[in-house]
């Protein structure tokens, strides 16, 4: 077989186009991966449906959250071999800059993202750099491995690397979609004493309680900051994670903090939030931190937690679709009437 199917973005707001293309050949430092699972996330909605994020060129194959099997290796590749099960690191790091040298691939000076800067994994095959291949234990299903690379690794990075969560601290999660849902689970796993979920969707808040949130707050009904202080009898939270990217949700995260608290902002948007009055903000020694993506070690450590049954993610897969229904999968994820954590597309070598 020399051709494959791929879901291609031609123009934002229009359906992805299912194309038959030549299977790409790996360069000396690349590998060809048969894609077994590709998760969809909010970034894909921004790219395909809204056009609020842009791609390097069109048409382009979307998909940056994937796992599969090595089908072919370039002649200089020695780190993986044909038949290996791998997950794909969502970004192409250079491996040479000062950040890559210390394991901070999220800050790579020359980072490029699959599905935005070059063809992604909403296809039967994808060519990736050999350093983008992360070995995946046999015990981890492809769909779970795929969503771990972003939907789980991103909040893990925010909690551990940027938020420096310590056992016994309190955590507020602002925005409980795919990232926020996993943040609740991970905060519990990492020893948070209490976790508060904040979201406008009542279905999502009910799910948050099932995942272990001690308090679930709808900000359209009550102001989260005083509610947290009153109901939990605390001065505020040690750590607030924001996954929405709106000025009002960033400001809510900051207002929920106690003295010395940290707000970690993961959500991305064009608007500019407002800091509290400096006398209050500085006097309380509060910190606002950005958190972008993940590092390779985040995914590797999560695989260890999953393989040893410390972290259970099978319920995170809300729905699975064949590649031929990629557009329906995007609409499912975008639906406001459904309780969605992650939607996964499962390409195969057989035509769907």
Predicted confidence (pLDDT) per residue in 117-147, tens digit? 999 999 999 999 999 999 999 999 999 999 9
- 4: Cβ–Cβ under 8 A, 6 or more apart, which residues? 20, 21, 22, 23, 123, 124, 125, 349
Orientation of helix 178-189 relative to helix 202-211, angle to 10°: 20
Predicted confidence (pLDDT) per residue in 139-194, tens digit? 999 999 999 999 999 999 999 999 999 999 999 999 999 999 999 999 999 999 99
94-128 burial: b if 16+ Cβ within 10 Å, else e: eeebebbeeebbbebeebebbbbbbbbbbbbbbbb
Closest CA to 66 of 94, 88, 33, 81: 88
- Whole-number Å distance between alpha carbons of 29 and 8: 25
Global confidence as pTM: 0.95
Q: How far is CA 297 from the centre of its chain?
A: 15
Ordered by where they begin, the domains of the chain are 3-151+294-345 (3.90.180.10), 164-290 (3.40.50.720)
The sign of the dihedral angle between the CA atoms of 151, 88, 123, 346 is negative
Confidence of residue 335 (pLDDT cuts 50, 70, 90): confident
Written as six digits, the tokens of 246 are 């709106």
**Which residues share a beta bridge with 342?**
317
């Amino acid at each position: 077989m020399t051709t494959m199917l791929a879901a291609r973005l031609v123009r934002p707001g229009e359906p992805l186009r299912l194309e038959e293309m030549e299977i790409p050949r790996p360069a000396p430092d690349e590998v060809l991966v048969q894609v077994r699972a590709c998760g969809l996330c909010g970034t894909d909605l921004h790219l395909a449906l809204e056009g609020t994020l842009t791609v390097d060129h069109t048409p382009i194959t979307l998909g940056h959250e994937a796992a599969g099997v090595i089908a072919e290796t370039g002649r200089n590749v020695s780190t993986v071999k044909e038949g290996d099960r791998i997950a794909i690191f969502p970004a192409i790091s250079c491996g040479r800059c000062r950040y890559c040298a210390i394991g901070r691939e999220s800050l790579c000076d020359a980072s490029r993202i699959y599905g935005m800067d070059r063809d992604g994994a909403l296809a039967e095959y994808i060519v990736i750099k050999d350093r983008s291949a992360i070995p995946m234990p046999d015990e981890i299903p492809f769909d779970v491995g795929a969503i771990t690379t972003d939907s789980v690794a991103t909040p893990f990075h925010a909690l551990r690397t940027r938020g420096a969560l310590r056992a016994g601290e309190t955590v507020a999660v602002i925005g409980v979609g795919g990232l926020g849902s996993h943040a609740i689970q991970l905060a519990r796993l990492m020893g948070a004493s209490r976790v508060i979920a904040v979201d406008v969707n009542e279905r999502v808040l009910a799910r948050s309680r099932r995942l272990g949130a001690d308090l679930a707050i709808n900000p359209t009904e009550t102001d989260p900051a005083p509610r947290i202080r009153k109901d939990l009898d605390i001065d505020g939270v040690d750590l607030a994670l924001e996954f929405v990217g709106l000025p009002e949700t960033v400001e809510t995260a900051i207002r929920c903090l106690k003295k010395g608290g940290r707000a970690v902002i993961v959500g991305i948007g064009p608007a500019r939030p407002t800091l509290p009055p400096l006398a209050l903000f500085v006097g309380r020694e509060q910190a606002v931190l950005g958190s972008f993506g993940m590092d390779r070690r985040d995914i590797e450590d999560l695989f260890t937690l999953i393989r040893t049954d410390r972290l259970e993610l099978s319920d995170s897969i809300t729905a699975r679709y064949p590649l031929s229904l990629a557009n329906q999968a995007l609409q499912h994820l975008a639906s406001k009437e459904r309780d969605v954590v992650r939607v996964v597309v499962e390409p195969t070598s057989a035509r769907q």
